[in-house]
Structure 1
């Protein structure tokens, strides 16, 4: 589903300078949107992009915490355990904030792993030691690339201003997670992983 929605990482560069100018996205408003004043949606007004964003972000946030807890117990490398602890901490907080926003906007969120993440969970359950560490970190690279692009998509095309602000706040954090995961993967495998320059440019500008 991500593949149908997500623009290339180059989009993140564009958003680094224009994200806050897009808040409210007048071009994407639904016909029934209530306004606080002309051109400014009332709080918690959503369009299709907001609703799909919230559901996809929740579907990605659930396994971050669940897999992080698993890695906290099973990981062999200290760097992997520390990364997993960070995932549990940061994504528990992000999931709680998203839940509050979704409840205010009456958007139902998933509460169980989706099929793709269940496959990853089943594989991680069978692995130990170095094999577990490598599989967990590689899955984290993929998930954080998807999440970064999903956040960029919401910033550009969402209508709910609070969701857009949450996406803008999360984006540099997720990009930092991605960078750390890539560095750990290189350490574990002895092979460098190419960090997308566009993504790193956004992360540097956000600091």
Structure 2
């Protein structure tokens, strides 16, 4: 069963990347630095147990919120600032949704903790100057959303707690919307500075 879940998660990750604007991994000649960060390691290990799912979902939401707050302080683009505010709002809502489902199932929700890759991406955003922060943020958001989509899809289909599976299933379309918005932001470039 674990091998099947891993294979299914791998297939989902492959399917997720089909419609995006990322260059194939073998193409190292690209100069588009907004697309060169691989998805976080969290995407490779999508837990189907409630505790693992809740921990990863909480960390992902915390990263989205904290990285978006950091972006809003320096961003030059009104469209990226608006996206960041949507991340703060939507990921606050998804945290509440997962927590409510976990509470209903008598699952203890530990305080979220960023994994090393999430911390690295957050540090990169915080360290970016005003001229580069929008591109750095968009690139890292794309990687984080790919991981989040894999996490929530895998738990929605193979999770062990019905209420959390339902919550994960409700979160998937929100993440898909975020990915579509990120693709638009990446294509728009710095022309929308405000």
TM-score norm. by structure 1 comes to 0.66
Q: Secondary structure at the match of 2:11?
A: coil
- 1:174 paired residue number: 175
The structural deviation recorded for 1:79 is 0.9
Higher mean C-alpha displacement, 137-146 vs 48-57: 48-57
Higher mean C-alpha displacement, 80-89 vs 116-125: 116-125
- 2:93 paired residue number: 93
Structure 1 segment 165-204 matched on structure 2, within 5 A: 165-188=166-189
Q: Write the distance in 1 (CA, Å) between the matches of 2:81 and 2:170.
A: 25
Could you list the runs of 5+ residues in structure 1 that have no partner in the other structure?
14-46, 191-207
The structural deviation recorded for 1:109 is 2.9
- 1:154 paired residue number: 155
Q: Write the distance in 2 (CA, Å) between the matches of 1:155 and 1:11.
A: 17
Structure 1 segment 23-34 matched on structure 2, within 5 A: none
CA RMSD of aligned residues (A): 2.5
- Check conservation: 2:13, 2:150, Cα contact below 8 A: no
Q: Write the distance in 1 (CA, Å) between the matches of 2:14 and 2:119.
A: 30
Q: Write the distance in 2 (CA, Å) between the matches of 1:111 and 1:184.
A: 28
Which one has a bigger Cα radius of gyration?
A: 1
Could you list the runs of 5+ residues in structure 2 that have no partner in the other structure?
17-46
The structural deviation recorded for 1:134 is 0.4
Q: Write the distance in 2 (CA, Å) between the matches of 1:160 and 1:75.
A: 40
Q: Write the distance in 1 (CA, Å) between the matches of 2:156 and 2:73.
A: 35
The change in CA–CA distance for 1:139 and 1:10 in structure 2 (over 3 A counts) is: closer
Deviations along 1:61-85, one digit per CA (max 9) or x if unpaired, are 1111111111122111111100000
Give the count of matched residue pairs. 154
Deviations along 1:137-171, one digit per CA (max 9) or x if unpaired, are 11111111111111111111112111111111111
